Copies of this chain bind each other. A is one copy, B any other.
Amino acid sequence: MCRVPETGERPYHHGHLRAGLLQAAERRLREDGVDGLSLRDLARELGVSHAAPRRHFPDRRALLDALAETGFARLDTVLRAALADTADDFAVRLQAVATAYTRFATENAALLELMFRSKHRPGGERVARAAEGAFALVNELIVQGQAEGALQAGEPEQAGLILFATLQGIAALVNGDVVPPEMRDGLVETATEQFLRGARPLP
């Protein structure tokens, strides 16, 4: 039951400051990158004193960690949604997840960087836990592929990691302008096909 303030009104208690900070921060992250994200600037934008954010985020890192955490949650949602739309065939499912991941990684470049950077920082346990969900999903998929005989049996980790690395790398090349964005989906498709050819059981 939070009262939304009228336009122009500026109550002493903001009421939505935490949520407002996260929302504004995410936009800034997308528009100007991590370096362009300043706490004082966000506070100004929300019409609040520069010290106010401290109640909700003890320091700048805490805000960035919170962004990373919600980033992983959103990634998880995106990947599961992509899987929900496909048939049972392993190759099709793999393509769907691979494409969805790489899209997310290129459409949220700064956020993705933040996600992987925050994951293994001291105090980044919450972010790490949020990351596990997305990783688990990929591993499940690899196990399914092995069960269907589309992949060599064995620990799924190495195979899964290499595929993951390739997608991450394609995203990095697109984000670094080494490769034009239009090539993204095509590269992912070829990479996935080559992965399937390379990782299938020997005849």
Interface on A for B, CB 8 Å cutoff? 116-117, 119-120, 158, 161-162, 164-170, 172-173, 176-179, 183, 186-187, 190-191, 193-195, 197-199
CB<8 Å pairs between A and B, sample of 20: A120-B176, A158-B186, A158-B187, A161-B170, A161-B183, A164-B173, A165-B169, A165-B170, A165-B172, A165-B173, A165-B187, A165-B191, A166-B166, A168-B169, A168-B172, A169-B172, A193-B198, A194-B198, A194-B199, A198-B198
A199 nearest in chain B by CB position: B194
Bound together, the chains give a CA A174 to CA B190 distance in angstroms of 24
Besides A165-B172, A168-B173, 4 more A-B contacts (Cβ < 8 Å) are A161-B183, A166-B166, A194-B194, A197-B198
Bound together, the chains give a CA A200 to CA B119 distance in angstroms of 37
Chain B residues with CB under 8 A of A195: 194, 198
